[in-house]
Amino acid sequence: MRKPTLLLIASPVREIDDVQWQRVADTFNIIVYDCGEDLDMFISRLRPGGQYAHIEAIVRTGWRNGGPFIDTRIFQQSFIGNYPPSLKLICCTGHGYDSVDLAALTKAGIWYCNTPNGATEAVANTGLYLILSAYRYYSFGEHCMRTDQWTRSRQLGTISQDPSNHILGIVGLGDIGLAIAQKAASALRMKIHYHNPHVKRSAEATLPEGATYHATLEGLVRVADCICLACPYTAATRHMLSAPQFALAKPSGLRIINVARGKLVDEDALVAALSSGKVVGWAADVHENEPSLHPDLKDNYMTTLLPHIGVCSKSSWRNFERGCLDNLEEFFFGKNGRPLTPLNQL
């Protein structure tokens, strides 16, 4: 059996399935990426005669935001032109693909696969925590405890609320958005509304009391008590929440949860809305200019700020690893010669 050549870019933050990896090792020639952050070296190795000149697949496994290759974004147009003609498949862990030029990959005849649903449970659990923290201001309470300000924490009794019977507006009712909605509806007894490119009746049917669809984001903001962002980041969704949207909030104020991408929210406008009371709660795992924080949010302990760790769970790493290798094996040795979860179509 012919052994295809695979370039492996592996983060140390991963969970390895020894059985599946042994099968891959037996059926593929594996070259381990060792260029570090030296992208000029990577490009030179892709050229004729280079070490990577005959690769047929790239697998990037583990956590892209952990390990030595955090800023190695090699699936963008500036690199794609250097790929050898032999390269036909890229498998990369994670749900998001905002750092990938899908159009350029498609034009080059290269399949691109992510690992959908791999981190759904982990991120949805994070979303549920952030909802609770936005309502109950747990970060402020912990800050008071750690800084011997017990008495100061008593003010929470006049402002914190429980989210039951409040309207949770989900923006993006995909795998993660739906999982958050299910948890919030069942555990917190929240009423679910959502904005999505299209109505999702089958998803609505999985919720205890169904859900209400809004064709526009603005329509959702007008009625929601809490908004949870779980949608992809694109040029069209950049700053989808900014001053005009915050101005539509109910008089009681809006709480916002972000487990998607930081640039969905205009943080300057957010800070102003927090000051004016249009936004009364902010809890986020992602940030507009991460890893840097907006200075007015950094010292605001009435907000909850996590360092993009919603995905961080051994179950996520296992699912990521399996998803990448399943795509790889199906493409090269499956009956149809197609990967399982491509984001583009050739």
Catalytic residue (one of 136, 166, 287, 308): 308
> Is 15 a catalytic site residue?
no
294-312: per-residue pLDDT in tens? Answer: 999 999 999 999 999 999 9
64-111: per-residue pLDDT in tens? Answer: 666 656 666 788 888 899 999 999 999 998 887 777 899 999 999 999
Catalytic residue (one of 15, 121, 142, 290): 290
- For the sheet with 5-10, list strands across it: 29-32, 5-10, 57-61, 89-92, 111-113
Angle at 151 between CA 145 and CA 152, to 5 degrees: 80
pLDDT for position 94: 84
> Is 290 a catalytic site residue?
yes
> Is 261 a catalytic site residue?
yes
Catalytic residue (one of 193, 261, 288, 321): 261
Tell me the average pLDDT across 46-72: 83
Residue 126: pLDDT band (50, 70, 90) is very high
Residue type, 123: V
Residues 6+ apart with CB under 8 A from 154: none
The reported pTM is 0.89
- The neighbour count for residue 138, using CB atoms within 10 Å, is 17
171-219: per-residue pLDDT in tens? Answer: 999 999 999 999 999 999 999 999 999 999 999 999 999 999 999 999 9
2-37: per-residue pLDDT in tens? Answer: 899 999 998 888 889 999 999 999 999 999 998 877
Residue 310: phi, psi to the nearest 5?
-55, -30
The domains of the chain, with CATH numbers, are: 5-118+314-333 (3.40.50.720), 120-305 (3.40.50.720)
Q: What is the dihedral of CA 63, 95, 305, 271, to 10 degrees?
A: 140
Average pLDDT, the chain: 94
pLDDT for position 331: 97
225-245: per-residue pLDDT in tens? Answer: 999 999 999 999 999 999 999
